[in-house]
Amino acid sequence: LLLLAYVTIVNFVFITVFYALLLSILRHIWPAYIPGLFDEGVIPYLVNTLPYYLLLLFILYSISPLNVWVLRRKEGYRPLNSSDRMRLERLLSEMGMNRKLKLYRNNDARVNAAAFGFNTIGLTGGVLAATSDEELKGVISHEVGHISHYDFVYQVLLFSMESLFLIPALIFGIIGSMVFALVPALGLVGELIAKLWWAVYKLLHRIIYGISRITDVNINKYAEYRCDAYAVKYGCGEGLLSFLRRLKRTEDVYGEH
């Protein structure tokens, strides 16, 4: 949570400074075309707060059922067939699962599972075929742990902040490309300016990417451990452990992850 709060604050500060600079440049270059936008009133308020509305809309869409549906369809998850549905309903009943879940499967042969939104779990054909009933209980309870701890919301917030955090650096790089293209016409001074510009851009990009990756890795790692612990508390730890050990043996044999 501290890492997430830190990234949030840095993003909002960075976006605010970048947007204020952009508005200042626009006002300086085209003052005649935007005469009233920087005066007091409703329109200037909307213009000056536009990044935050866009951020809010992006977050609301990302956690909405529409985005969950898009993600599910993108991964090829479809409603369960009759045999899978009967098996999973029996397992959920044996687990005493009271939470209302929407379960889907795809035809991916890889062994995997994923949680979407607030109540949706996707199971690959590989995990349904490869697991025993007890192991599948462990996998499902692990994914329910993600849902119970709202990890989907954390990932949405982190992704949205990372994306908006990188936009200024991307624009900075595009402008740098344009400057670099004009180097032959600008001579030695222009070449020095272009090199300096690219050095600043690379430094900026590495800082942004480094902060985002450190935050992402630590939050994901903590979330996975917490969901494993959730499966243990739910009484499905032995099945999950058996499943993970079997995955490890497969990795050792085939040298895959």
Nearest partner of 195 among 176, 209, 182, judged by Cα: 176
- Residue 231 CB-density burial (10 A; 0-12 exposed, 13-18 middle, 19+ buried): buried
CA atoms of 225 and 233, how far apart (whole Å): 13
pLDDT at 113 over 90: yes
Which carries the bigger pLDDT value, residue 144 or residue 186?
A: 144
Q: How confident is the model at residue 125 (pLDDT cuts 50, 70, 90)?
A: very high
pLDDT score of 203: 77
pLDDT at 239: 95
Please indicate whether residue 64 or residue 205 has the higher confidence score (pLDDT): 64
Closest-CA residue to 128 (of 87, 98, 100, 68): 87
pLDDT digits (tens, 9 = 90+) for 159-188: 766 666 666 666 666 666 666 666 666 666
No. of helices (H) and no. of strands (E), the chain:
10, 4
| Band (238; pLDDT cuts 50, 70, 90) | very high
Query: Is the model's pLDDT at 28 over the cut of 80?
Result: no
pLDDT band at 60 (very low <50, low <70, confident <90, very high): confident
At 61 the pLDDT is 81
Contact 34, 26 (CB under 8 A): yes
Place of tokens 């991916």: 108
Residue 122 has phi, psi (to 5 degrees) of -110, 130
The single-letter DSSP state of residue 34 is S
Choose from 10-19, 44-53, 116-125 the range with maximum mean pLDDT: 116-125
Q: Of 37-41, 49-53, 250-254, which has the strongest mean pLDDT?
A: 250-254
pLDDT value of position 221: 85
Higher pLDDT, 114 or 253: 114
- What is the reported pLDDT for 169? 61
CA distance 30 to 106: 53
Task: Record the tokens describing residue 215, joined without a space.
Answer: 């935050």
pLDDT category at 3 given cuts 50, 70, 90 is low
* Average pLDDT in the chain: 79
pTM: 0.71
CB within 8 Å of 48: residues ≥ 6 apart: 23
Question: For residue 85, which of 98, 69, 70, 101 has the smallest C-alpha distance?
Answer: 101
Q: What percent of the chain has pLDDT over 70?
A: 66
102-105 sheet: strands from edge to edge: 78-79, 102-105, 120-123, 113-116
Across 49-58, 132-141, 163-172, 192-201, least confident range: 163-172
| C-alpha gyration radius of the chain | 25
Q: What would the pLDDT profile of 133-142 be if each residue is shown by its tens digit? A: 999 999 999 9
Whether residue 228 is predicted with pLDDT greater than 80 in this model: the reply is yes
Check residue 150 and give its pLDDT. Answer: 86
